[in-house]
Structure 1
């Protein structure tokens, strides 16, 4: 398929974080872009303000008339049901209908592609790398699975020759990509509703790794059973971050590369996992030929990703942090960062489990991760694409936890329960609609200060 011959791009599910950055990309290319989504959101509002027409009812009549012609590409999200009338309308008339992952595959085939894979860390690592390349003057477009604070967008740059993409393991999407340089940040079991076993996930990552024929272009963490260039924090590796200390609320560290030692890098995101994300981005940028001083400057100015250890309130008496963590490993990373920054302070964590299947598959690990916090509030499980599963609920999960102070709260009572806590550190965690509650929680806490 030749994208140059496509004039119109129609999105079914345009408001998703991955779909919306593709919509921005095609708008930047001068394409005529329109789409449907189920509900309005901040992302759809921004797309509308940029000149993209969006409607919120599944109606063939709502499709703009100029999208009925042959040179229209239709892009769908996996979340759309097969009964969707607009989708079926285009299928029945033999339009080019592609999944988002397939379209990214077409785009990356014609560009120099950086692909960031891993169960955790994809979004932050992609954001750092995209920021480094943009700041250094590369002709780059970076597709990010979150809103990068520096740009208030999930798309960095408007370049035509270099791309940065998250290589998403969900539904084996990353196997559509054509990476020139790649990294794998982690390979924990997840998406068992798709894969069935952790062995199947590992096989999928191995298949992704095989796409990079020259293993000197693939960066890995030391524990992965894959051939590649190793990266580590405070351990021997080809790329090593060491001499890590904290100064003025930021990490300061050195990096050993195969050719030099980069001294006194400053990086503002907390947590050792974020140091690893930064190191992976630095390694890929160095291989690409980005000057060291440009890397150092960009690392220091990177502000982070919204809902990734995102400070909402930061005062002497009260700190409120919001994070997208929805897997035990990610929750452990949030806990490590909080304890490192705020030792001996009481921490209240509010967690909304995401998916019945994930809660079931990792229940014991979730219980252990959440039990590390002083106090816990659990919300009901956010179902996303799933139907309820008998016996799998927040009460079942809470019964596995060892905290003395734990309770299940409905959304209507959440703010009052948070305000009644004597914890000085509050963390909201989860990938569901808990993010929509953050502004009201922040407002209520601020009114008490």
Structure 2
């Protein structure tokens, strides 16, 4: 039966993807948000799903049959208050996914502090390639980003496999547990476990507790594929009731990466499965972290019965994810990269990968501290170490600094001073416009600019290429 379902906060990556899935099931879908920006605004426009801006009680007239409340929504939001006052039925994204899409399916969940979006996209593409020969493997999926191979972040099939990015962030204002606790995985990938989401987790122990509870949901017949290079991951899987297979660089691991090398922006490596030669894999992406992500996806797929040849073909033709080392423009010899930076470890791996992909280039890191972790002072030392991999570092003002308690705020001035003491060229500029005006004249042919933000960054992704194009026209 068709329902009218309205999503409050529809422009979040998972919410927009859910909107698409609900539309495929035949529901009439509407949504609202405070502000929309690519790539999800583009996706919703393509789907012709109406997005009302800004929030207003009028967006809920006439009353929808069901409201999905995004996890970023809190009491005081005008639409949420109207829903509560009018007793319109409501639920969370994670609850609805379980109820509408996971019953009777094989739930394959990818979780971890880093790498889950890319790994989920890789696994979905592996299953898609495998389904050309075995139709029953055609995957449904929901990814927290747009997978380039599919040009979308969601897909719905009648077959059993459902591949999900398992987010550790809380579910909704009325459910403060992690979203992934609703997904009940039949098989699970656990990439990394670090302290993150400082707005909802008190410390690393709380984060580990969440992942331990996720592992505890996997049935005895299931499997966990877990990174071998993290003591935190080892602790989280130590009491699993199912088989646990480790992947990474440790010689004793079930899926051991060997002879990793980079060539012309590609990664090539061998995998030993339980000590025996299993496959040589190739990925059209640089970076040790991407080889690890691909190995995790390969390990889970192989263990679920996907043929080796399909795994190798899929990884060799993988096209990445929007906002993950995405080349946004090459203008006047300057390469502009967009990367979804949310944590010092992710920044470090991004800059390491760019060093490998563009050897000899002058590397610029332009950071907007925007995530709930980066806006706080919990990782100042780690952030200095990560950013120091670049030649030039530019910091924007901290996003919505006033919403962070003063004692917890990141001090960008101290960060810049720490970078300078480390011998780096670093500057603090208030916003995207100031950054563009300051760095555009300094950029030269062969430079690589990594723009690091998990938001729209005030349009810098468009403003910087435009400014460089203007510069080139004046010079010609």
TM-score after normalising by structure 2: 0.85
- Of 439, 442, 461, the residue aligned with 1:418 is 439
Over the aligned positions, Cα root-mean-square deviation in angstroms equals 2.6
Change (3 A) 1:260 1:143: farther
CA distance in 2, matches of 1:234, 1:416: 47
CA distance in 2, matches of 1:353, 1:147: 22
Q: In the TM superposition, what whole-angstrom CA distance separates every residue of 1:263-301 from its partner, at most 9, and x where no partner exists?
A: 332201211011110011111111221111111111111
- Aligned match of 1:442: 465
Q: Does 1:211 align with 2:212?
A: no
Q: Does 1:128 align with 2:122?
A: yes
Q: Runs of at least 4 residues of structure 1 off by over 4 A? A: 313-317, 446-449
Q: Answer yes or no: is the 8 Å Cα contact 2:331–2:469 preserved in 1.
A: no
Alignment of 1:297-336 (within 5 A): 297-313=313-329, 317-336=333-352
Q: Answer yes or no: is the 8 Å Cα contact 2:342–2:371 preserved in 1.
A: no
CA distance in 2, matches of 1:381, 1:201: 24
| SS of residue paired to 2:356 | helix
| SS of residue paired to 1:9 | strand
Q: In the TM superposition, what whole-angstrom CA distance separates every residue of 1:369-398 from its partner, at most 9, and x where no partner exists?
A: 112321111101123893463664321322
CA distance in 2, matches of 1:188, 1:157: 32
Change (3 A) 1:64 1:312: same
CA distance in 1, matches of 2:433, 2:192: 37
Cα drift, residue 234 of structure 1: 6.5
Cα drift, residue 329 of structure 1: 0.5
Q: Does 1:99 align with 2:92?
A: yes
CA distance in 1, matches of 2:199, 2:49: 34
For structure 1, the residue ranges without an aligned partner over 5 or more in a row are: none
Cα drift, residue 443 of structure 1: 3.4
CA distance in 2, matches of 1:78, 1:85: 15
Moved more, 142-151 or 80-89: 80-89
Change (3 A) 1:101 1:271: same
Moved more, 97-106 or 264-273: 97-106
- Aligned match of 1:154: 153
Change (3 A) 1:376 1:133: same
Q: In the TM superposition, what whole-angstrom CA distance separates every residue of 1:85-112 from its partner, at most 9, and x where no partner exists?
A: 3323333444431111222233334421
Q: Answer yes or no: is the 8 Å Cα contact 1:384–1:432 preserved in 2.
A: no
- Aligned match of 1:16: 12
- Aligned match of 1:257: 273
- Aligned match of 2:204: 198
CA distance in 1, matches of 2:459, 2:249: 34
Moved more, 273-282 or 192-201: 192-201
For structure 2, the residue ranges without an aligned partner over 5 or more in a row are: 132-136, 171-177, 239-243
CA distance in 2, matches of 1:370, 1:337: 13
Moved more, 366-375 or 24-33: 366-375
- Of 370, 387, 391, the residue aligned with 1:374 is 391
CA distance in 2, matches of 1:55, 1:169: 28
Q: In the TM superposition, what whole-angstrom CA distance separates every residue of 1:151-190 from its partner, at most 9, and x where no partner exists?
A: 2221145445321111111122211221101011000111
Change (3 A) 1:46 1:193: closer
Q: Does 1:361 align with 2:373?
A: no
Q: Answer yes or no: is the 8 Å Cα contact 1:189–1:198 preserved in 2.
A: yes
- Of 413, 424, 427, the residue aligned with 2:450 is 427
TM-score after normalising by structure 1: 0.90
CA distance in 2, matches of 1:314, 1:347: 14
CA distance in 2, matches of 1:102, 1:429: 32
